[in-house]
């Protein structure tokens, strides 16, 4: 089963959801506004992304940018878990394996 993580009103998440629905892909949605990711998830996403998956273009990240850039790994992890809108989204997984972070139609097409 596919699992998508994100915020439902995010335009990028909406595009990814629309793509999956057009392809007939069943998935469950983990809503950052209702559920909080845990440290294990964040570390898994970091491992895939090569760094913490911070949405450095978003307004939430801009508010924490100075603290984030000055923080060590534990501090960055805490800041992201306290500011969930600063996590890059959507994150798509299947059976606990990260397939994509963000939405790139070509990447999604290659998956389905």
Which amino acids are annotated catalytic? 10
Angle at CA of residue 100, ends 105 and 47, nearest 5°:
155
Using DSSP, how many helices (H) and how many strands (E) does the chain show? 5, 4
DSSP state of 83: -
- Burial of residue 90 (CB within 10 Å: 0-12, 13-18, 19+) is buried
Q: Give the three-class secondary structure for 7.
A: coil
């Amino acid at each position: 089963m596919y699992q998508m993580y994100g915020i439902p009103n995010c335009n990028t998440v909406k595009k990814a959801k629309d793509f999956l629905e057009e392809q007939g892909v069943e998935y469950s949605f983990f809503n950052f506004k209702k559920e909080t990711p845990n440290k294990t998830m964040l570390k898994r996403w970091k491992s895939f992304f090569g760094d913490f998956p911070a949405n450095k273009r978003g307004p939430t990240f801009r508010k924490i940018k100075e603290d984030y850039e000055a923080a060590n790994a534990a501090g960055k992890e805490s800041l992201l878990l306290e500011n969930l809108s600063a996590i890059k989204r959507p994150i798509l997984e299947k059976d606990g394996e990260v397939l994509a972070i963000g939405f790139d139609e070509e990447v999604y097409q290659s998956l389905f």
